[in-house]
Chains A and B, each alone.
Chain A
């Protein structure tokens, strides 16, 4: 399927976001967001509500219905607006600081702009100090629920979240191409949603005492 036809971004927006994603999960000796196709993942997500939910066995997509469809239309609209405005801000800051659009900048200047987008360093330190005073340290929750309230997020953390999703979500959503994201972090995910759905996907080789998992490079 041609992502470009199905997508939301215009070519300029797409280049901007893809460049930012490539700094959020950079390419090193292993693939990053660019090789994973994180931009395709996001562009299709924002195209409407048809690709929000894969079918449980991975045989396609099942759009939400009824009140859920209304909620998703509302959510996608909000997220699209955040992207339109965020991309504009990214490029305006790039031109103001370095005289070029974001995608044209070298990596260190892109990182500088993204750090600006993340918020003033002072605020982050203050926030952390307050958290430490109250509770020793408040992390990004390692807790049970990490529900992504996308409509509550600012543009930059939203982009970080979507980059991570596009790197590590099941490949059916268009990112994590050839499972490169899972390979980078050594997660032996299922070969397909269908395998897991049929009960053929097992992590028992990674339990204690299993002969199959012999350390870092466990067999897949």
Chain B
């Protein structure tokens, strides 16, 4: 097993795209977070009763970062098929489930590391920017600290979210095997549902989409305000995303085991 792990790690590390995607993930977290917090006005919702979720907004970069995570997850699987490297991979590690476990571990470690950097960077940036824009404790905005329970949950949850998205990508990659189709499917899953929720008129359906679409459900964990009105509880949402990711992975692992290496 350690052999398979080290092999997949070496494979991932030796492709330039891996580094770029992980860098992009962290930069997206910090950059978009800064753009979001930097454009906020404290009087956006009038005097007093403002409930802007500054933590969620400062972690808004996750919407772009998830693209990097998902694409990385897909690529670490489908690149093997696109280039034929799957043949030496399975020849070197004939017990195929080990290949799956190793790939997931490598994707998780890489994305997890980059996500920690991105999330911490985004929160620190928000902490520096928000008070200057009037978001002070006096106006009901306690300084963003990682010690705060809810902030902690949002931060940890965002890291887990990105890891799970990458695993979902890897699972779909194993099932679909074709880079183009797999990237399209995973991005469509993650990005189209929120757009639909935005325009579908019926609040019941909106809630349904927010509750069951992988991205919306998983990102409930970012909420630090208005918790009572969330369509799905934070950890439950993340668990749902985990269920999707594991289902895709299980299907992919089963197909890897049952099918011939190529074709």
A and B are partners in one complex rather than unrelated chains = no
Instruction: Please list the residues of chain A having a beta carbon within 8 angstroms of any beta carbon in chain B.
Output: none
Instruction: Please list the residues of chain B having a beta carbon within 8 angstroms of any beta carbon in chain A.
Output: none
